[in-house]
Amino acid sequence: MATPDAGTAAAGPGSDPVARSRWVLARCAQHGFALAGIADAGPSSRAEEYRAWIDAGRHGAMAYLAEQVDRRLDPRVLVPGARSVLCVADRYADGRPDRRVPGVGRIGRYARGEDYHVVIRARLEALAEELLEAYPGERFRVCVDTAPLLEREHAERAGLGRIGKHSLLIGPRGMGSWLVLGALVSTVELAPVRADGGMPGGATVDADPCGACTRCIDACPTDAIVPWSVDASRCVSALTIEDRGTAAEWFAGRTEDWLFGCDACQEACPHSQPTVRSRRVATHEAYRAHRTGFPLLEVLGWTEDDWEAAQLNGVLRRAGHAMWRRNAALAAGSVLVDRASPAEVRDALGAQLSVVALNPSETPEVRAAARASLRLV
């Protein structure tokens, strides 16, 4: 949001940048964010890496990541005159292992409760209104994943955590990487304040949270991770949420029991394990799980009306009806090759996949996935 003319901040809470930052961070605490910090609105220090990642096609089906690159790499282009980036985070899970049920496809933990875009945006917009009242004439831009902003990099600068080899932000105090992020880009001059208590603009005591550990890399079912980079064209999460086309045949049998999203790298990360310490850190009530997954046989048989009746939240609806069924067909392949799964579950899924594969009126992406899974047996 913005007033017609951005200018110098009028008198508001705090007469200097440090006082203003203290007031803003106090308001963030009042709005219930688990973490909040402030970074300068400087350009990305990873611009060359980002452009190389795009040029190599590692953004996969997410074509929007190759758009507005200049804006994405510099918040001052996104918001002319920007001076500060307020970064916030909610914790949505504590890493407790799921109860795994043969034939049931899981959804990523971040998507099991309310839509985090809505939950975080509402509070950031309320905060922006407070700031606009305090500092008329300034500009504010709320960013919750959908704006062209490298949120993780700015969050790391603001001391909300450290980026791990799986490219996710690992929070302090046992929070792990079970975090969803938001940001408020502003023309108000705020003093940088790190959420972890480190020096503004400086590195944390241990800038590398991973050391020699490669558990996330080893746990990835599709070999999508190399240190500090993910190839989205191979990532199960990117496939099941973002890719609306026909999946590469080799995905069949390798997406494990993931129906929407994937937490494999986080489940393996030592920082994200449930411990006495991590359980002392609260998770936001809005993300309490409504359900953890859906039976694959059920999803394979979904009609459009069934998909609507499932009452999926805004995050889950990013994958359309055909995508859900395609994802279920791929996950079914993992069940077919798992001899530990009950025979009756494998037989029922195999029979349903055959029906889908032989149906000439079936959508191409669902039919192709069913055929690819059947070829595994």
pLDDT in tens, 168-192: 999 999 999 999 999 999 999 999 9
For residue 114, what are the contacts with CB-CB under 8 A and spacing of at least 6? 286, 287, 313
Q: What pLDDT is recorded for position 12?
A: 54
φ, ψ for residue 86 (rounded to 5)? Answer: -85, 120
pLDDT at 200: 56
Residue ranges, the chain, pLDDT below 70: 1-15, 198-206
> What local confidence, expressed as pLDDT, does residue 5 receive?
41
Q: Which pLDDT value is given to residue 196?
A: 83
Q: pLDDT value at position 350?
A: 98
Compute φ and ψ for 258, nearest 5 degrees. -85, 120
DSSP 75-94: HHHHSTT--EEEEEEEE---
Domain boundaries, the chain: 17-186, 215-374
Tens digit of pLDDT for each residue in 207-247? 799 999 999 999 999 999 999 999 999 999 999 999 999 99
Q: What is the pLDDT of residue 206?
A: 53
Radius of gyration, alpha carbons of the chain: 22
Positions annotated as catalytic residues are 145
**Residue 76 identity:** R
What is the distance between the alpha carbons of residues 325 and 310, in angstroms, rounded to a whole number?
13
Q: What pLDDT does residue 3 have?
A: 42
pLDDT of residue 7: 39
Q: What is the pLDDT of residue 16?
A: 86
